[in-house]
Structure 1
Amino acid sequence: MSTVLSRLTPQLRQYLIVTGNYWAFTLTDGALRMLVVLHFHQLGYSPLDIALLFLFYEFFGVVTNLLGGWLGARIGLNRTMNIGLGMQVVALGMLLVPAAMLTVPWVMLAQALSGIAKDLNKMSAKSSVKQLVPAGAQGMLYQWVAILTGSKNALKGAGFFLGGVLLTLLGFQGAVLAMAVVLTLVWLLSLVSLKQELGRAKNTPKFSQVFSKSRPVNTLSAARMFLFGARDVWFVVALPVYLASTMGWDHWSVGGFLALWVIGYGIIQSVAPYFTGKGSGHIPGGRAVFLWALGLLLLPVLIAVSLSSHFYPQTVLLAGLMIFGGVFAINSSLHSYLIVSYAREDGASMDVGFYYMANAMGRLLGTVLSGYLFQIAGLTACLWVSALFLAIAALISLYLPSR
């Protein structure tokens, strides 16, 4: 293995290390989310209570992305990535306390730490690609971002399945301990493998520069916020609780189905360039983002109508969810490519961090609404709000540069 790695270019070796770190972190992140949702649902917590467990996770994602990009530009992306891995190990360790101590505030605090860790890791990975691809190689940049993002989401799906399986086989604490041990080994390997100055800005950035002055970055960030709010408003809490309570699925079934959904979503993300013009040498711009968002908008509307009219509700829900995943994957991949493309050359992590701050705001909004709306009005209400958010995202996308 070492011989093969030594034959690779330095840029490709660093890309593989960054991707490996991202994969390992994402696997534990997906498993932990499913563990928390299913374990606390089993304990009798309401959908809103479960959503609130993730409140700090998403809120601190907003803060971390805003400050993390600035930090990465100052100290280097290798350090911010390793800090994220280390913090996730600590967050997992916090959940190993006796069951009586797993109160809502304690779990929220652990999730806050995990949220900071996740966004440091993600921001570092996405920003690193900008540094490793030659300037002007937009086709290569799109492909590398798509592979990184798609493979991450496929592993997040595997993490959902892993969380359901580990909860069944090892129980909550046994599952958390197993993940903590594995991630500690990855963290130690990363400390000695990543290039020391990766992503560090040549000119020390001021804190005032964390807010982007680029119109394309700001516009794309606003669209991203509503895009991810549209997904999480029905996917994060409402859907798994609906599958478990209304459809009577067990932990294995819920975790397995959501895992397959996210894995398929990740695979389509990885090959998204082939759906958006790679074969003809076309590099997508703002118009492509608008059209794909418009297509996605139809799906929650159709599912909501089916549930309201009782027209094969379960069949339409499951089939619609699979199609939604595919179309959403292409939307997300387009966004991920464009932000890396729009980001400044020196200190790219600051633009990428600002963009993922908006992403985290959308997830925060979607997560809270997912629990609240499902509790007071059911899954159909979540779907209608999802459609509204997608309409807003599509309209905002009209203001993106055509290329």
Structure 2
Amino acid sequence: MTTDTTAAPDTAPNSEKRTALYAQHQALGATFTDFGGWQMPLKYGSELAEHRAVREAAGLFDLSHMGEIWVAGPGAGAFLDYALVGKLSAIAVGKAKYSLICAEDGGIIDDLIVYRVAEEDYLVVPNAGNAPTVAAEFEARLAAFAAARGAEAGVTLRDASAETSLIAVQGPNAQDILLAIVPAEHADAVTGLKYYSAIELEAAGVPVLLARTGYTGEDGFELFVANGRAAELWAAVRAAGEGRGLVPCGLASRDSLRLEAGMPLYGNELSRDVTPFEAGLGGVVALKTKEGDFVGRSALQAKKDDGAGTTSGRRLVGLRGLGRRAARSHYQVLKDGQAIGEVTSGQPSPTLGYPVALAYVAVELSEVGTQLDVDLRGKTEPFEVVALPFYKREK
């Protein structure tokens, strides 16, 4: 993918970073918030209306605060197998895989998506606030990887976060909007693009890496674009969305959408103090399918072998509110008046019409159907453990 380093994101006087689309958000009257050191749109008007637009039509998001790290060379796949918990060398060209980067003790440093763009080219997308940490970890792990091989690693790393923008179009009308801005000869490539796949093409005359991925529970696309072309692409998508229900959406609706979809957020559900098994992400860890060592393997194997998959005795669950009041982050979860866990994310579900929450609770109380309470500032409210996700779109 072609990149342009001449239009790096602005930096505000208070050292908060701004994306290449900051002026567009200002013009739309966005309310801003700090997220991972970035000034990001929280909402443009009604966060409820933005949420519903994604469920019913389409939403447009600026995700340019996310990181982009290119890993290239003949040893790229083997290096990623060593650096991350999954078997990334097995990704087919044009496909993507969700993975985790863990510390030696098994704690989660970040969750991320890895795209295999070409035979020897991978794009790793970490979360906004964690992007510098992941880049530094990759540098350190590459040195260890090369030392273990006793030869050149055959890998180059390039952190393209500062020169890359990311725009997402999510919702039932997302595909029609994309079809309106790609050349007719690329229409089949868009309609045939499977979930967790990516392709390089032009949209509105702008070179992009187009991925069918997202964080909302809806069908949708994410477009990686050079900063210098981001505003042009944003305008083209907005124009194509006229008459198709597209609205710009901020982080508030993105959070309520991802919660309904049961997707974890780093800093809430995931952290250095949490292992993949506790978070319900044990399937991401390739203990059986990946040969050789990887960072955190011994600790993760030990935690899996302990029987419950977690030595802390807790597990992430979904909670459905049986009353009208919503649980919030850090509220205590109770059983017979005793604290047995803590809410990590919670709010009323606009789509479902009742409160939903994610929480870590004692393993023995994590079964679906278990009745629990949440302490809502001194008053208990009944909740029930339910299967995730809370919301699942119709295919």
Q: How does the TM-score come out when normalised to structure 1?
A: 0.28
Greater strand fraction, Structure 1 or Structure 2? 2
Looking at CA atoms only, which structure, 1 or 2, has the larger radius of gyration? 2
Greater helix fraction, Structure 1 or Structure 2? 1
Structure with more relative contact order (C-alpha pairs < 8 Å, separation 6 or more): 1
